[in-house]
Structure 1
Amino acid sequence: MSIVYRLPFHESFVMVWVDIPKGSGVDMKIVQFVTRMDVLGGAQIHVRDLSIGLANDGCEVIVIALGKGPITEELTDHGISFVPLNHLVHGINPFHDLRAVFEIRRLLKTIKPNLLAIHSSKAGIIGRIAGKTLGIPTVFTAHGWAFTEGVPERKRKLYLTIEKIVGKFSRAIITVSKYDYNLALKHNVIPGSKMKVIHNGIPDVPHIKRSKPEKHPPKLMMVARFAFPKDHLLLLKALERLQALEWELDFVGDGPMRKEVETYSSHYTFSDRIRFLGDRGDVADLAVQSQVCILTTKLEGLPLSIIEGMRSGIPVIATDVGGVSEMVEDNVNGYLVPKDDIDILADRLKMLILNPNLREQMGRRSRQKYEAGFSFEGMLEDTFSYYRMLMQSNGK
């Protein structure tokens, strides 16, 4: 069957259709709110996968965000309604932020969800205010705090102050890493009793889509948006030292810094070994052709790109920031590299490029770690259970 919502936007109205599979039964009505859906990033992929999983479990899911893109089309294909917001902006803007609060309140009053689930910092602030004032059970998933180490000092202090204020009336927070859980405790953002760690998880792939990490010469893959905090240039500078070795590199992703990185790489004599593939929906297929997963970055929460590498069974070389060490065990399923350390990065790359047997051993352990702690089924079950607990305890 189908349900129609008439949702007010300014002086006009939008008709939203929610297709519900026959016989599934609507167990819960959940609004997933994320700041943006016009970019392809970890939070957006998480919201997509989680929404589809919840819908398959019988929930009615409505996603609201700024902007449209390929992911919103995927949601629609799965019968999940998407409502674009008019007043939400990415940066802090008191005028637009206040209008966004009222816009979201109007939406929530019309939809009447059993639960409001929020993702990303900006949505986390506005959504928690709206949810609190309407008495709707609300949970915020922190995909890496905006006040984490590595964020510019002025922005870090501003967001820490805001999070402490909003934390006083936050109902519950999911952190995607133990690192972020401990960071919130350290800064007295919210009591530990109101937080729960649920590691990100992604759907598995058939065995045929597992990599052969021992294949030589190796193909290196970095899946990351070309924007802060990712550090593509550091990887290129490290590979410059290894240009005499056999390797290829795929950059997967898009963003405002892509042109700069492309221009920089074009000056290398080995530029023909580097491919810029843009945003791709077939990362699993690209990973099966790769032998090493790399992520060089300034800061991080619990990046999905590393889990994608682990899922495909390849070793990971990543900057040791945020929750990365909860996925990559140094010298076990890959290597942890100190931030901005080009010497260690080049050394670890060389070790894996030259040693197919080591890649095979570490890749096997990566796959084991994925199965043990980062499966989609485990993440969905833990999240669904936490959602239920919050609804059942609402007002108690």
Structure 2
Amino acid sequence: MRILYIITRSDVIGGASVHLLDLAVGVQEAGHEVIIVVGGHGVFIDQAKARGLTCISALHLVRPLNLVSDFRFYLEFRRIVLAWKPDIIHAHSSKAGIVGRLVAKALSVPCVFTAHGWAFTEGVSTYRRILYLWIERVVANFANKIITVSDYDRSLALRSCVGDADLIVTIHNGMPSAKDTFSATRSFDVTRLIMVARFDAPKDHAFLVRALASLVCNDWTMEFVGSGPTMPSVKRLVAELNLEDKIVFSGACSDVSRRLSESDVFCLISNWEGLPLTVLEAMRAGLPVIASCVGGVPEAVTQQQSGILVDKDDLEGLVTALNALIGSRDLRSKMGNVGKSRFFNDFTFELMLQRTIDVYFDVIKV
């Protein structure tokens, strides 16, 4: 097969970007021909090339809605598809997903769209939610199949009249086994918390900082791994709450697996989610998870078994969860082991890859 992938942004590496890079490598190693179209020139292209993938930088593919740029990109992408002649187009992210489906429909090319969390999900601004809901209802059936990364997102689409049950299939995210193995160097004196996430919506680092300021115990440290536009305001909040000796900002890091191996508890506080890869990465590392009970997170983290889920905006609940895991090494170990077992049973990359390739063949045969 010749598979053309398309994703909107090259300037950041988020969950959808990591998912696509892993998927494209796996599909290529399975013997298929792969090319990726992405907007702009950024870190995504560098990482794709380093992994042996071919990328085309789209001049007019930008994240904000812009009728002029979007129409120019429609024409640009149409030319790329006509020149490369793919057997299937697989679109990722909202903007690329919309234009990708329009072009695929116009040229009668089989198309799959993966929704990494809908742009009309709960927590998104009212204007954005209404706009994207209307757009997704219009273009849903331009795809031959829509993949959601969680049952939550599949149910949300069906309730919102975006496609039907035959069109939408859930394929949970998967993570490759860690290439590097690290011996655990976890301390028993200080509980080391870690959150790996970009400082941008939908993540809520500030809410976690406020909860940490309320902890009655002092035997903890917090590491934030990631960068992004909200980092300066979170740093100011940390200074205002006199937590600078407890909280470390490590920025974007390439050694996340090692940092997880040296941590005790993984946190992910969000206003909305699809199925976050960082949670799966933490489970793979054997860490208990404290996370917001949003989107597909409960499909990965089993409440009170592999972690503790906290309702959005429940500050008291988050403080209680943090105190529980900071205060009990045995509980951390028990939950971490359950999560690791769950990862290898249900969330490996091999499972995700095979299910996705099966969708490709089903779509092409139709």
Give the TM-score taking structure 1 as reference length. Answer: 0.90
Stretches of 4+ aligned residues off by more than 6 angstroms: none
Map of 1:344 onto structure 2: 317
Alignment-mate amino acid for residue 321 of structure 1: V
Distance in 2 (alpha carbons) for counterparts of 1:202 and 1:379: 8
1:261 pairs with 2:234: yes
> Are residues 1:314 and 2:287 paired?
yes
- SS of the counterpart of 2:245? helix
Can you list the C-alpha shifts for 1:110-153, whole angstroms capped at 9, x where unaligned? 01111100001111111000111011110000000001111111
Matched, 1:390 2:363: yes
CA shift digits 1:22-80 (9 cap, x unpaired): xxxxxx11111001121010000011111111111111111111123333222212321
SS at match of 1:209: coil
1:369 matched to 2:336? The reply is no
5+ long unaligned stretches in structure 2: none
Query: Counterparts in 2 of 1:157-306, with a 5 A limit?
Result: 157-205=130-178, 208-209=181-182, 211=184, 215-242=188-215, 244-306=217-279
- What letter is aligned with 1:193? D
Distance in 2 separating the partners of 1:169 and 1:271: 51
1-side partners of 2:65 and 2:48: how far apart?
Answer: 28
User: Aligned to 1:155, which of 103, 128, 135?
Assistant: 128
For residues 70 and 380 of structure 1, the distance between their equivalents in structure 2, rounded to whole angstroms, comes to 24
Task: Report if the CA contact (8 A) 2:204-2:270 is conserved.
Answer: yes
Partner of 2:58: 85
Percent identity of equivalent pairs: 41
| 244-253 or 175-184, which deviates more | 244-253
**Structure 2 SS opposite 1:38:** coil
Q: Deviations over 1:144-163 (max 9, x none)?
A: 00011111111101100000
Contact 1:115 1:136 survives alignment (8 Å)? yes
Name the SS for the 2:147 alignment partner. strand
Q: Is the Cα contact below 8 Å between 2:104 and 2:142 reproduced in 1?
A: no
- 1:61 maps to a residue whose letter is V
TM-score (norm: length of structure 2): 0.97
Cα distance between partner residues in 2 of 1:75 and 1:317: 31
State the distance in 2 between where 1:30 and 1:346 align: 46
Could you tell me how far apart the structure 2 residues matched to 1:152 and 1:97 are? 22
Partner residue of 2:67 out of 83, 94, 97: 94
In 1, Cα distance between equivalents of 2:48 and 2:333: 36
1:331 aligns with 2:304: yes
Task: Give the structure 2 partner of residue 4 of structure 1.
Answer: none
Q: Deviations over 1:346-385 (max 9, x none)?
A: 0000000010000000000010111111101111111111
Tell whether 2:114 aligns with 1:141: yes
- Look up the match of 2:43: 70
| 1:282, distance to aligned residue in structure 2 (A) | 1.6
Q: Is contact 2:40-2:61 (8 Å) kept?
A: no
* Alignment-mate amino acid for residue 70 of structure 1: V
Q: 165-174 vs 296-305, which deviates more? A: 165-174
User: For structure 1, which segment, 182-191 or 198-207, has the greater mean C-alpha deviation from structure 2 after superposition?
Assistant: 198-207
CA contact (8 A) 2:121 2:272 kept: yes
1: CA distance between counterparts of 2:268 and 2:93? 21
Stretches of structure 1 lacking an aligned partner (at least 5 in a row):
1-27
- Counterpart CA distance in 1 for 2:44 and 2:8 is 14
Aligned length: 366
Q: In 2, distance between residues paired with 1:209 and 1:69?
A: 30
Q: Secondary structure at the match of 1:58?
A: coil
- State whether residues 176 and 349 of structure 2, in contact with CA within 8 Å, keep that contact through their aligned partners in structure 1: yes
Q: Which residue of 1 aligns with 2:3?
A: 30
Deviations 1:240-267 (A, max 9, x none): 0116421111111111111111121123
